[in-house]
Amino acid sequence: MTPGRDAIVATAAESIARGSKSFAAASRLFDRATRERAWLLYAWCRACDDLADGQDHGHDAVPVDDPEGRLALIRARTGAALAGEWVGDPAFDALRIVVAETAMPHALVWDVVEGFALDAAGWRPASEADLLRYCYHVAGAVGCMMAVVMGVAPEDETVLDRACDLGLAFQLANIARDIGEDAEAGRCYLPGDWLAEAGIAPDAVMADREALAGLARRLCDRAADYAARARAGTPALGFRSAWAVLAAAGIYGDIARGVAARGAAAWDRRVTVPAVARLGWIVRTFGAAWARRSRYRAAGPVPDKWVRPRLPERESSR
């Protein structure tokens, strides 16, 4: 028997509650329809990530024996969902529902899958531009998908750019926080030229924590730049969506700030954002969301290292 929408939404709500307390808290600020679709989208992203990395809701990643086989499974189930088929896996059926209920371009979905392909190939960034391209595939494209979930037209490239900026900010913070965990799993997302400048061996990144802390701060500074740009997209959103975005930006910004503040001790234990701090951001960003049209007028500058692919130049979603 095929599960109903309510059952799949309930499973997605459990997934976000287990996988990301930060996103779960911010998602509560959406109106019900947007909140449920955000949970459904998260469930698909989380399931793909766990399948690719051999982890459980973003934790305890281990090297996998057959990355290409796992990637093929992600592609097959995602393709079935985009074709409107019931997959039989709640997370992929969640994607089917989101796509059916929104104007979601399929190209954005496949852009996210491409990030898993990069990991399956053991890819590592040689430069900051490479790093940002990877961050786009695993998070920036998700930001664009979330914008569509919030009602942004896929043709509104300016707002999608700002949504992408927020995804980049989140992923840069993730990378800074997870350097130690990634190293244990045999991965490194720090650009090769950054490592060379700091005198850090690519396969022994944890050997010099002082030098590593400098690179982590560099990641966190980039994350702050992109988060600042992302806020300029909030005037295009409804109040509750803008509030959720601003709260999420503040909460996730605390992760980056926590990594930078700890320095060489950043990876002794995982940086998290306490519940009281998450609540604080929800309270503080209420006024900012209300005044968003006067407060956030233009995107600030960031280094021109990379440009998001434009949707009209690629395959249509329909």
Report the residue count for the chain.
Answer: 318
141 in a structural domain: yes
Compute and round to an integer the Cα radius of gyration of the chain: 19
Reported as type and span, the H/E element at residue 114 is: helix 106-120
204 in a structural domain: yes
- Distance from the Cα of residue 193 to its chain's centroid: 24
At 22, which CATH number? 1.10.600.10
Dihedral-angle region of residue 166 (phi above 0 means left; psi in -120 to 50 means alpha; beta otherwise): alpha
Take residue 229 and report the two structure tokens written for it: 């740009």
Q: Which of 88-97, 224-233, 249-258, 297-306 has the lowest mean pLDDT?
A: 297-306
Total of domains in the chain: 1
Reported as type and span, the H/E element at residue 247 is: helix 239-262
Take residue 28 and report the two structure tokens written for it: 């509560």
Whether the per-residue pLDDT at 57 is higher than 80: the answer is no
CA-to-CA separations, 170 to 227, 248, 312, in angstroms, rounded: 8, 9, 26
197 in a structural domain: yes
* pTM of the full structure: 0.92
Cα first-last separation, the chain? 29
Handedness of CA 124, 106, 18, 22 (dihedral sign): positive
313 in a structural domain: no
40 in a structural domain: yes
- ∠ Cα 12 14 19 (to 5°): 95
Q: Which domain holds residue 158?
A: 5-307
Phi then psi for residue 211, to 5 deg, are -65, -40
Beta carbons within 8 Å of 257's beta carbon, 6+ residues apart: 220
Beta carbons within 8 Å of 16's beta carbon, 6+ residues apart: 23, 24, 27, 39, 42, 43, 46
pLDDT in tens, 23-47: 999 999 999 999 999 999 999 999 9
pLDDT in tens, 119-139: 999 899 999 999 999 999 999
